[in-house]
Amino acid sequence: MALITFTNKGIYCAQGGFYIDPWRPVDLAVTTHGHADHVKWGNKAYLCHELTKPILNQRLGPDLNIESLPYNKEININGVKVSLFPAGHVIGSAQIRLEYKGEIFVVSGDYKTEYDGISTQFEPVKCHTFVSESTFGLPIYKWQPQEVIFSQIKDWIADNHGRSKTSVLVAYSLGKAQRLIKGLSGYTDVYVHNSIANLNEAFINAGVDLPETIRISPETKKEQLQKGIVIVPPALADGRWIKSLQSPATGICSGWRQVRAGRRWRSADAGFALSDHADWPGLLSAIRATDAEKVFVTHGYTATFSKYLNEIGIGAEEVKTQYGNEEEEEKAEISADAESKIQEDTA
């Protein structure tokens, strides 16, 4: 009997009696990270990394039944050995390692192999079966080194300052925003939307060392924003608030920006291919490092990527899940901070 099965509620471990990143309410949800497509409200209990716990509390509510673990600590759930290993996707993201009667399965969630300077470095885990995402599972997706992307961002900001423009970077509140804050630390003042500020506060309270930022409020002067850097979530990218700034210039930070045909934000002034997912070489290197005999490919270019894995001798199968819904994640970032209406109230 397989240690995991793919059900209409999510990835199920029958031997352990729990689900991994279920999309419907269950008794126990073992959670890879805090993005909305991987964790839902309504589960009776959650198990996650200790740095994901404050994110679940901040996004889903303070009274959740959550057990948290550090990386590499093993617990036993109904005879199944469960441990968490770094996924490198966002702060606290984890691969879930399951071991039962000598069989080892790893559910990776979302991951990236390049160290971003703030999330714990991705760690390959040897296993018999590996569940991999394929968000950017096409050969065309190959990221430039992070330092190159940040150099491009800084040059763009400097050019905007020289022309008295307000630099607005658009990035997801969980993960990308903290990566930008870390990478731009010391360059100039960084102003952030409430949804980002609240998550930063949760991280800081949990012991994460984040550079200082300034929370945008209705009292924040447009002149201040023009002299610094503004970071907002994607829901605000085309909103009235940005248009109300002094000569705003918008830069989208997303792996999709590498391919012109895939650029969803047509009104953006600039695009930076900065992604928290593995690119094509990263996916292949991660999978090879596991020595897995079987790979299940979820969310992304599943058909193309699984076909390629089979062609190079790695047994792979495409599976359908409800992960990878960036629009849902975007909605969660704003609804988690419903009292913040700077995009309208300060226009």
Q: pLDDT tens digits, residue range 119-142?
A: 999 999 999 999 999 999 999 999
Q: pLDDT tens digits, residue range 295-311?
A: 999 999 999 999 999 99
In this structure, what token pair is assigned to residue 160?
């905007």
Return the percentage of the chain with pLDDT > 90, whole number: 84
**Do 184 and 307 belong together in one domain?**
no
Given this model, what pLDDT does residue 235 score? 85
Does the residue 192 lie in any domain? Answer: yes
**pLDDT of 334 above 70:** no
d(C-alpha 15, C-alpha 223), whole Å: 59
pLDDT category at 282 given cuts 50, 70, 90 is very high
**Do 136 and 282 belong together in one domain?**
yes
Kindly report the CA angle at 263 between 235 and 133, in degrees rounded to 5? Answer: 85
Does the residue 183 lie in any domain? Answer: yes
pLDDT category at 291 given cuts 50, 70, 90 is very high
In this structure, what token pair is assigned to residue 293?
């005999």
**Do 112 and 32 belong together in one domain?**
yes
252-260: long-range pairs with CB below 8 Å, 24+: 252/170, 253/153, 253/169, 253/170, 253/171, 253/176, 253/180, 254/171, 254/176, 255/135, 255/136, 255/141, 255/143, 255/279, 258/140, 258/141, 258/143, 259/140, 259/141
- Phi, psi for 185 (deg, rounded to 5): -60, 130
Given this model, what pLDDT does residue 265 score? 53
**Do 121 and 151 belong together in one domain?**
no
Among residues 255, 274, 293, the one where a domain terminates is 274
Given this model, what pLDDT does residue 1 score? 56
- Burial of 293-314, coded b for 16+ CB within 10 Å and e otherwise, reads ebbbbbbbbbeebbebbeeeeb
pLDDT category at 256 given cuts 50, 70, 90 is confident
Does the residue 330 lie in any domain? Answer: no
**Do 252 and 299 belong together in one domain?**
no
Contact status, residue 59 vs residue 35, Cβ threshold 8 Å: no
Given this model, what pLDDT does residue 260 score? 57
Of 275, 55, 85, the closest CA to residue 174 belongs to 55
**pLDDT of 164 above 50:** yes
d(C-alpha 147, C-alpha 335), whole Å: 33
Residue in the block written with tokens 């999309």: 23
Does the residue 343 lie in any domain? Answer: no
Instruction: Check which CATH number belongs to the domain holding 281 and give it.
Output: 3.60.15.10
**Do 263 and 289 belong together in one domain?**
no
Kindly report the CA angle at 51 between 45 and 52, in degrees rounded to 5? Answer: 40
Residue 282 identity: G
The Cβ of residue 202 has, within 10 Å, a number of other Cβ atoms equal to 21
Contact status, residue 180 vs residue 251, Cβ threshold 8 Å: no
pLDDT category at 326 given cuts 50, 70, 90 is low
**Do 256 and 304 belong together in one domain?**
no
Return the percentage of the chain with pLDDT > 70, whole number: 91
**Do 10 and 135 belong together in one domain?**
yes
Contact status, residue 250 vs residue 241, Cβ threshold 8 Å: no
Given this model, what pLDDT does residue 339 score? 33
**pLDDT of 337 above 90:** no
**pLDDT of 12 above 70:** yes
Given this model, what pLDDT does residue 5 score? 97
The residue ranking higher by pLDDT, 338 or 180, is: 180
**Do 155 and 269 belong together in one domain?**
yes
Domain that holds residue 10: 5-140+276-325
pLDDT category at 324 given cuts 50, 70, 90 is confident
Given this model, what pLDDT does residue 259 score? 74
**Do 280 and 304 belong together in one domain?**
yes
Q: Radius of gyration of the chain from Cα atoms?
A: 20
Residue 25 identity: P
Kindly report the CA angle at 28 between 23 and 32, in degrees rounded to 5? Answer: 60
Given this model, what pLDDT does residue 335 score? 43
Does the residue 338 lie in any domain? Answer: no
Q: pLDDT tens digits, residue range 15-43?
A: 999 999 999 999 999 999 999 999 999 99
**Do 126 and 113 belong together in one domain?**
yes
**Do 211 and 255 belong together in one domain?**
yes
Given this model, what pLDDT does residue 266 score? 57
Residue 197 identity: A
**pLDDT of 344 above 70:** no
Q: pLDDT tens digits, residue range 194-244?
A: 999 999 999 999 999 999 999 999 999 999 999 999 999 988 887 788 989
**pLDDT of 144 above 70:** yes
Does the residue 24 lie in any domain? Answer: yes
Does the residue 335 lie in any domain? Answer: no
Contact status, residue 123 vs residue 93, Cβ threshold 8 Å: no
Average pLDDT score over the chain:
91
Contact status, residue 255 vs residue 275, Cβ threshold 8 Å: yes
Report how many domains make up the chain.
2
d(C-alpha 125, C-alpha 142), whole Å: 23
In this structure, what token pair is assigned to residue 87?
């996924």
Q: pLDDT tens digits, residue range 43-52?
A: 999 999 999 9
Q: pLDDT tens digits, residue range 71-87?
A: 999 999 999 999 999 99
Instruction: Check which CATH number belongs to the domain holding 211 and give it.
Output: 3.40.50
Does the residue 51 lie in any domain? Answer: yes
